[in-house]
Amino acid sequence: MYSEKVMDHFSNPRNVGELEKPSGTGMVGNPACGDIMKLTIQVEGGVVKDVKFKTFGCGAAIATSSMVTELVKGKNLDEAEKISNSTVAEALDGLPPVKMHCSNLAADALHAAIEDYRKKQAEEAAAK
């Protein structure tokens, strides 16, 4: 039922784990099914230099998690923010209809991580 790309990312997920000192962390639950993803990013000079993920979820959740880390690496924050659930699903050659909601998890975690980074930046600036 899954595309070859999904199975490839599921079997050999890229960027699994957690960064030790992340600039931003996004931990989200999927409201539809309750699955969970944690994404950590390292931002340098406005660019996402490194990224890692951990996911408790179905095959599609793991594949989309892996794909979003590939898509975001090396992008500046504005570009990164534009990555949506459909960008991720398309990059995987699509997902079965009942699994479309799974791609929300990856996009939501990415946006949460960026937001967390921006919040921290703002706090640091205010403290200065």
Binding interface with other proteins (CB under 8 A): 2, 7, 10-11, 13, 16, 18, 27, 32-38, 54-59, 61-62, 98, 101
- Name which of residues 68 to 97 contact ligand FES (CB under 6 A): none
Cβ atoms of 52 and 40 closer than 8 Å: yes
Cβ atoms of 106 and 67 closer than 8 Å: yes
| Integer CA distances (angstroms), 35 to 52, 57, 59, 81, 117, in order | 17, 5, 11, 22, 23
Residue closer to other proteins (CB basis): 98 or 125: 98
Residue closer to other proteins (CB basis): 16 or 91: 16
61 binds ligand FES (CB under 6 A): yes
Residue closer to ligand FES (CB basis): 27 or 77: 27
The verdict on whether 58 is a catalytic residue reads no
Identify what 75 binds: other proteins, ligand FES, none; CB under 5 to 8 Å per kind. Answer: none
102 binds ligand FES (CB under 6 A): yes
60 binds ligand FES (CB under 6 A): yes
Tokens of 87: 């960008």
Q: What string of DSSP letters covers 40-83?
A: EEEEETTEEEEEEEEEES-HHHHHHHHHHHHHHTT-BHHHHHH-
